[in-house]
């Protein structure tokens, strides 16, 4: 996956509303078949960036391309390459799902004959062929999300931008949506997905980009992002005997930097600590523990979760704002 060079490429993208900078030099790229989780607190600039990518807004500076096509200079060509699923469905009374998709297919300029076939294909892709003859207004929220996804696929775009696709879905519908998105990536689609349900994103994304106050705070795999936001990682030592806890804590304290956070849990038979030490130094600690007779069941790094990375990035944005970033317009 992701071997053909970037499909979506954003360089130095900046958007100002008057003196207010909503997006400040955003640079990122997403490869073919990759899923990028695009996250940030409310007002971070996600929608601003998405609007530029789908050709609905012009940047103040910088550039954005999809499959090499400039999002500003060539909006007609761009619309064929990109599928955008906003977080609202709209209201469509007295319309069956097939008519709804036919309406959008026509808007995309798909000839009538091809349209009928394409509607069956996208309903298959969105795993909802049984919805075809139902009235749109009778669909549940989860069913609508699948129909919206089918609509997004009608013109066979190379890249999909999905705004909060899992929002408001119950757990089974969320799992179904997750499988659908992974399936589309497998088929070579490039996906940019925003979500406030962070554990959900962590399960499907190859990479994440975190923005706050218009600026990119961290990007890469979840592990890389965690590292960019904090050089410290959490190591957990699990023991088999309570009698080894004090000895383990002592050795960890000797190894860690002065004043380092060390937490010992008798209930879990665990010692956890935050450290910036190298792999070789950690291997040395493990050797010392075993040499001292501690029975170590596990010695491992505890992964930072996306929620924690998100909060760190948001706090960095807030601290910067408090230090004098421009105020929002009234
Ligand atoms: N047309 C506009 N005029 C002035 N300011 C705007 C305009 N559109 C957006 N903004 C401001 O730009 C900032 C970024 O907004 P944006 O909608 O991109 O955030 P977001 O990350 O999508 O937030 P959310 O998660 O709440 O949807 C906000 O402070 C917003 O008030």
Write out pLDDT tens, residues 8-58.
999 999 999 999 999 999 999 999 999 999 998 888 999 999 999 999 999
Residue 277 to residues 252, 280, 300: CA-CA distances in angstroms? Answer: 12, 8, 13
Shortest-distance atom of ligand 1 to CA 48:
18
Q: Is the pLDDT of residue 325 over 50?
A: no
Q: Which residue has the tokens 């050709």?
A: 55
Give the pLDDT mean for 55-71. 96
**How confident is residue 327, by pLDDT bands cut at 50, 70 and 90?**
very low
* 23 CA from centroid of ligand 1 (Å): 9
* 43 CA from centroid of ligand 1 (Å): 5
Whether 49 contacts 26, CB under 8 Å: yes
Q: Which residues line ligand 1 (CB under 6 A)?
A: 17, 20, 22, 40, 42-48, 328-329
- Per-residue model confidence (pLDDT) at position 322: 66
Ligand 1 pocket check: which of 17, 167, 211 to mutate, most ligand atoms within 8 Å of Cβ?
Answer: 17
Q: Dihedral through CA 103, CA 108, CA 112, CA 114, nearest 10? A: -120
- Per-residue model confidence (pLDDT) at position 324: 53
* 44 CA from centroid of ligand 1 (Å): 7
Which residue's CA is the closest to the ligand 1 atom numbered 1?
17
ipTM of the predicted assembly exceeds 0.90: yes
For residue 219, how far is the Cα from the chain centroid? Answer: 10
Which of 49-58, 267-276, 320-329 is the least confident region?
A: 320-329
Which of 185-194, 221-230, 304-313 is the least confident region?
A: 304-313
* 93 CA from centroid of ligand 1 (Å): 31
Ligand 1 pocket check: which of 39, 47, 53 to mutate, most ligand atoms within 8 Å of Cβ?
Answer: 47
Mean pLDDT, rounded, of the chain: 90
Q: Is the pLDDT of residue 1 over 60?
A: no
Question: Structure pTM?
Answer: 0.80
* 41 CA from centroid of ligand 1 (Å): 11
Which residue's CA is the closest to the ligand 1 atom numbered 25?
42
Residue % of the chain over a pLDDT of 90: 67
Which of 27-36, 175-184, 290-299, 319-328 is the least confident region?
A: 319-328
> What is the sign of the dihedral through the CA atoms of 308, 313, 316 and 321?
negative
Which of 20-24, 113-117, 169-173, 292-296 is the least confident region?
A: 169-173
Closest CA to 188 of 36, 31, 32: 32
Shortest-distance atom of ligand 1 to CA 41:
25
Q: Is the pLDDT of residue 79 over 60?
A: yes
Which residue's CA is the closest to the ligand 1 atom numbered 30?
43
Tens of pLDDT, residues 87-117: 888 888 889 999 999 999 999 999 999 999 9
**How confident is residue 278, by pLDDT bands cut at 50, 70 and 90?**
confident
Ligand 1 pocket check: which of 44, 215, 313 to mutate, most ligand atoms within 8 Å of Cβ?
Answer: 44
Residue 172 to residues 143, 168, 191, 263, 319: CA-CA distances in angstroms? Answer: 12, 12, 21, 37, 38
- Per-residue model confidence (pLDDT) at position 4: 62
For residue 64, how far is the Cα from the chain centroid? Answer: 19
Residue 304 DSSP class: P
């Amino acid at each position: 996956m992701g071997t053909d060079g970037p499909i979506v490429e954003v360089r130095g993208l900046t958007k100002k509303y008057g003196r207010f900078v909503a997006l400040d030099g955003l640079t990122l790229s997403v490869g073919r078949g990759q899923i990028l989780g695009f996250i940030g607190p409310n007002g971070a600039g996600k929608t601003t960036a998405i609007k530029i990518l789908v050709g609905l807004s012009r940047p103040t500076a910088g550039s954005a391309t999809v499959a090499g096509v400039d999002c500003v200079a060539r909006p007609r060509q761009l619309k064929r390459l990109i599928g955008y699923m906003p977080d609202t469905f709209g209201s469509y009374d007295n319309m069956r799902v097939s008519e709804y998709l036919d309406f959008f297919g026509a808007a995309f300029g798909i000839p009538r004959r091809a349209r009928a076939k394409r509607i069956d294909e996208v309903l298959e892709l969105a795993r909802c062929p049984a919805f075809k003859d139902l009235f749109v207004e009778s669909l549940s929220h989860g069913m609508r999300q699948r129909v919206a996804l089918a609509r997004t696929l009608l013109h066979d775009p190379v890249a999909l931008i999905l705004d909060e696709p899992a929002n408001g879905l119950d757990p089974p519908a969320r799992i179904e949506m997750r499988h659908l998105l992974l399936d589309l990536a497998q088929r070579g689609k490039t996906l940019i997905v925003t979500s406030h349900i962070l554990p959900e994103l962590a399960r499907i994304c190859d990479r994440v980009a975190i923005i706050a106050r218009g600026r990119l705070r961290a990007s890469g795999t979840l592990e890389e992002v965690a590292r960019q936001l904090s050089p410290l990682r959490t190591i957990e030592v699990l023991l088999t005997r309570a009698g080894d806890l004090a000895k383990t804590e002592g050795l960890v304290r000797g190894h860690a930097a002065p004043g380092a956070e060390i937490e010992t849990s008798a209930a879990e038979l665990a010692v956890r600590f935050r450290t910036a030490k190298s792999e070789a130094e950690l291997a040395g600690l493990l050797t010392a523990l075993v040499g001292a007779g501690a029975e170590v069941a596990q010695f491992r790094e505890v992964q930072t979760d996306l929620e924690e990375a998100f909060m760190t990035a948001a706090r960095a944005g807030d601290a910067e704002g408090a230090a004098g970033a421009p105020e929002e317009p009234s």
